[in-house]
Amino acid sequence: MHAPIVEGIRRELGEEVTVRVATLDEPDHGLTDEVLAETDVMTWWGHAAHDSVSDAIVEKVHARVLDGMGIVVLHSGHYSKIFRRLMGTTCSLIWRSDPGGERELVWTVSPSHPIAAGVPQPIVIPHQEMYGEFFDIPQPDELVFISSFAGGEVFRGGCCFTRGAGRVFYFSPGDQEYPVYHQAAVQRVIANAVAWCGGVSRPIGPVAGRHGNRARDWYLG
């Protein structure tokens, strides 16, 4: 599953990034404190096994996102604990998995957004599971892609959010049944999203220090 995602990120971002893979069955799902501290951007894919993810690890990932780590949530990751925790909503949707799937078209509605750079209008995905509205998420800060399906449904499939100091991008294309992650345009979006999520500022005084009791005129120091 993760091989084509990794390959796409490496091809598009090259020397700029180091990619590492963590899986559910590793201790701490591979997400130790050290790994989290060193990670600038995480991609998250999951399916069926969301409930097997440790609540304690989810809390740690959540805290890291608020502290500035980016996270790119992919496809059925919409139902992951971490995405629902970040959104505060059910993240439910309508779906259909007919044999062979159906054609999805991914339309850019924010053409100058960095995540849309070099992305064809539309991306044509021949075989895909259908995800449709109503998608129960907060209104995105920026909506980059909207998908349509052969069955007529639509889906806000490319959504930007900022939570705390961290950036979140949800991207719906991708499935364990079809070779979606092998399409160059899909890989390109994921790589762009990783770059965008990692493009946050490192402010003077982190967000973590931006709360608490302050004496009058504290800033005149």
For the segment 26-85, give every residue that binds a second copy (CB under 8 A).
Answer: 66, 68, 85
Paired sense of beta strands 142-149 and 102-108, if any: antiparallel
Q: How far apart are CA 70 and CA 36, in angstroms?
A: 11
User: Binding segment for a second copy among 16-24, 25-33, 89-97, 173-181 (CB under 8 A)?
Assistant: 89-97
Which residue in the set 89, 100, 179, 182 belongs to the binding site for a second copy (CB under 8 A)?
A: 89
Kindly write out the interface string for residues 118-157 of this chain, putting x where it contacts a second copy by CB under 8 A and - elsewhere. Answer: xxxxx-x-----x-xxxxx-xx-xxx--xxxxxxxxx-x-
- For a second copy, the closer CB: 25 or 152: 152
Please give the residues from 173 up to 192 whose contact with a second copy meets the rule CB under 8 A.
Answer: 192
Q: How far is the CB of 12 from a second copy (least distance, A)?
A: 13
Query: Quick check: 15 binds a second copy (CB under 8 A)?
Result: no
Q: How far apart are CA 176 and CA 146, in angstroms?
A: 21
Burial of 206: CB neighbours in 10 Å, binned 0-12, 13-18, 19+ = exposed
The answer to whether the CB of 153 falls within 8 A of the CB of 106 is no
Please give the residues from 193 up to 212 whose contact with a second copy meets the rule CB under 8 A.
Answer: 199-205, 207, 210-212
- For a second copy, the closer CB: 13 or 200: 200
Q: How far apart are CA 184 and CA 161, in angstroms?
A: 24
Calculate the alpha carbon distances from 34 to 58, 81, 82, 112, 207 in Å.
15, 21, 19, 36, 20
Burial of 156: CB neighbours in 10 Å, binned 0-12, 13-18, 19+ = buried
φ/ψ of residue 116, rounded to 5: -95, 5
Which residue in the set 50, 64, 81, 167 belongs to the binding site for a second copy (CB under 8 A)?
A: 167
Q: How many residues in the shown chain lie near a second copy by CB under 8 A?
A: 82
Which residue in the set 14, 15, 51, 112 belongs to the binding site for a second copy (CB under 8 A)?
A: 112
- For a second copy, the closer CB: 23 or 214: 214
